[in-house]
Amino acid sequence: MESFIYMDHAATVPTRPEVVEKMLPCFTEQFANISSTYTIAQRDKATVQKARETIAEVLNASADEIYFTSGGSEADNWALKGVAESYAAKGRHVIVSAIEHHAVLHTAEYLEKHGYEVTYLPVDENGIVRMEELKNSIRPDTILISVMFANNEIGTIQPIEEIGKLAHEHGVLFHTDAVQAFGQVPIDVRQMHIDLLSASGHKLAGPKGIGLLYVRKGIRLANLIHGGGQERGRRAGTENVPGIVGFAEAVRLAAETMGERAERMSELRDYFMDRLLAEIPYVRANGDRKRRLPGNVNVSIQFVEGESLLIMLDRKGVCASSGSACTSGSLDPSHVLLAIGLPHEIAHGSLRFSLGEDNTKEQVDFVVDSLKEIVQRLRSMSPLYEDFISEQKKANA
Amino acid sequence: MEPYSEKVMDHFSNPRNVGEIQDASGVGTVGNAKCGDIMRIYLDVDDNQVIRDVKFKTFGCGAAIATSSMATEMIKGKTIEEALKLTNKAVMEALDGLPPVKVHCSLLAEEAVHAAIWDYAQKHHLAIEGLRPPKADIHEEETGCPV
């Protein structure tokens, strides 16, 4: 394969070789369906239980509060639909932030079609939920607040503990989509008053096709998938043993290296952002500079469009992503960038680089240098830039 | 999204006729920054109504830049009458097709050519058969972009 610089770790992360190694025997020797009664099935069941315990420990949960799913999207769907169904007698009002992943937002819209009311909570210019506004939107019939731990596009980390506390003071359940945060920043479900939490394996160098929903003991949650007694009767389907084992190993490794990794990546991230802001004119940093995922870089580059930037970066072997409408096939740019108040035309020119532990300073330098050239080239053919420059000349004349 | 054809990638990476024309015979700008694409076409037309030179500037995605490049190439050296016959379909075919979500870029290119010719006709007080005033923005009706 040609050499490339991968800076799209928020999309997915290559599975660690140690993780793959742990998984491999689960395809061949440890292949049993763990619902069976014979010895080898019981042995494999113990392996799954151990994996469950490993993950629970990292979250400060107990093993029987962890429910394995097919991924983060299923976990989000289950949390919202499950709570909505089980607590309908108490109320039919749900609060979600405006910058949630579509797995939450589209599920909320689905609930609206089924007789629930949803408040889409606005965020401030850095993407952080305003506590006063959240408090004011809680009603007697509110059953659930869902606010993501950290945003996938702009990396902003929410005041999760405060939100959890507020929810519990009002007798409301609190769900957080921690797909981006898990393995990157410390999470303690007890201390942070989290009732339900979604996570995904492949975002932290585990395999794809495995995720989890943490459900605090005592919470009622209607089943999403019916047809078997797996996951204590709450989520049917033969266990994805290789996935579960790989997920647990990835979580263990992520937890072990978290502090050192976060420090190194935050430093690289800040260096990256600082260079972009200093060396390319008319660039805006998106998201909170401090309360931010260690690897997340998000900027809007004025007068150019995101997809063009991405294709040109790709031709230099750089993998990144954009909030431009053109990359999603929809007509509107990213809902997250619009929610933090960016005008459409600025949102169209946004780029996200999500760093991973293998990225180096040399790679960042290469990307910044390439981007400077690319932006210059695209601006030279941009009528918006032409107008801007002629306006400036007029103003200075 | 579907990948771009080699021709689209070629015209995006090495766009033809990028730039401005000082004192152009006609200039047309279409599209909307809010929707993510703006095209501007400059024409230099001689006394026989032949397009001597054409330049463009485009803010937009890969397809927007490629369709602008191809459209300018297709009308260069042609008469105004011939240029008016340029359709978005012809531009798309010349590029070996576009992904369905990018068809509006070719409409924008066709519209930009018309807008530049309209401007030329206005400046020179010419009545040209088949020439219609440019739409301010084709998005709303053609693609539903909520401007």
According to DSSP, the residues that pair with B43 across neighbouring strands are: B26, B54
DSSP B57-113: EEES-HHHHHHHHHHHHHHTT-BHHHHHT--HHHHHHHTT---GGGHHHHHHHHHHH
**B139: confidence class by pLDDT, cuts 50, 70, 90:** low
**A304: confidence class by pLDDT, cuts 50, 70, 90:** very high
Q: Which tens digit of pLDDT belongs to each residue from A157-177? A: 999 999 999 999 999 999 999
Rounded CA gap, A183 and B110, in Å? Answer: 50
Q: Which tens digit of pLDDT belongs to each residue from A254-298? A: 999 999 999 999 999 999 999 999 999 999 999 999 999 999 999
Q: Which tens digit of pLDDT belongs to each residue from B101-137? A: 899 999 999 999 999 999 999 999 998 887 888 876 5
Which among B104, B114, B98 is positioned nearest to B141, based on CA atoms? B104
Round the average pLDDT of chain B to a whole number and report it: 90
Q: Which tens digit of pLDDT belongs to each residue from A43-76? A: 999 999 999 999 999 999 999 999 999 999 999 9
> What is the predicted pLDDT for the residue at B135?
74
The residue from B91, B105, B107, B108 that is catalytic is: B105
The residue from A236, A319, A326, A384 that is catalytic is: A326
- The answer to whether the CB of A283 falls within 8 A of the CB of A300 is yes
> What is the predicted pLDDT for the residue at B56?
98
> What is the predicted pLDDT for the residue at B1?
59
Q: Which tens digit of pLDDT belongs to each residue from B55-92? A: 999 999 999 999 999 999 999 999 999 999 999 999 99
Percentage of residues of chain A with pLDDT beyond 70? 98
Q: What is the mean pLDDT of residues A297-313?
A: 96
Nearest to A383 among B58, B101, B139 (CB): B58
CA torsion B70-B71-B72-B75 (nearest 10°) is 120
Q: What is the ipTM of this complex?
A: 0.91
Tell me the residue type at B123.
K
Residues of A with CB under 8 A from a CB of B: 303-308, 311, 315, 324-327, 329, 331-333, 343-345, 348, 380-386
| Domains of chain B with bracketed CATH | 6-125 (3.90.1010.10)
Nearest to B62 among A311, A332, A383 (CB): A311
**Cα nearest neighbour of B3 on chain A:** A311
Query: Looking at the predicted structure, is the pLDDT value of residue B142 above 70?
Result: no
Residues of A in contact with B2 (CB under 8 A): none
Residues of A in contact with B38 (CB under 8 A): 383-384
Tell me, yes or no, if B105 is annotated catalytic: yes
Q: What is the mean pLDDT of residues A355-364?
A: 97
Q: What is the mean pLDDT of residues A218-239?
A: 96
Preferred mutation among B61, B68, B138 to probe A, highest tally of A CBs within 10 A: B61
**How many CB atoms are closer than 10 A to CB B1?**
13
For CA atoms A106, A109, A113, A118, the dihedral sign is positive
**A2: confidence class by pLDDT, cuts 50, 70, 90:** low
Q: Which tens digit of pLDDT belongs to each residue from A11-26? A: 999 999 999 999 999 9
Q: Which pair of tokens denotes residue A352?
A: 């996200």
Q: Which tens digit of pLDDT belongs to each residue from A86-101? A: 999 999 999 999 999 9
Instruction: Report pTM.
Output: 0.94
**B146: confidence class by pLDDT, cuts 50, 70, 90:** very low
Tell me, yes or no, if B61 is annotated catalytic: no
**Residue spans of beta strands (DSSP E) within A222-359:** 283-285, 296-301, 318-319, 350-354
Which among A192, A177, A188, A184 is positioned nearest to A69, based on CA atoms? A177
In the β-sheet with B26-32, what is the strand arrangement from edge to edge? B26-32, B37-45, B51-59
According to DSSP, the residues that pair with A351 across neighbouring strands are: A299
- Helix, strand or coil, per DSSP, at residue B32: strand
> What is the predicted pLDDT for the residue at A331?
64
Q: Which tens digit of pLDDT belongs to each residue from B28-54? A: 999 988 888 999 999 999 999 999 999
Percentage of residues of chain A with pLDDT beyond 90? 96
**Cα nearest neighbour of B13 on chain A:** A312
> What is the predicted pLDDT for the residue at A332?
78
According to DSSP, the residues that pair with A298 across neighbouring strands are: A352
> What is the predicted pLDDT for the residue at A324?
77
Residues of A in contact with B143 (CB under 8 A): 331
Q: Which pair of tokens denotes residue B110?
A: 């066709």
> What is the predicted pLDDT for the residue at A1?
45
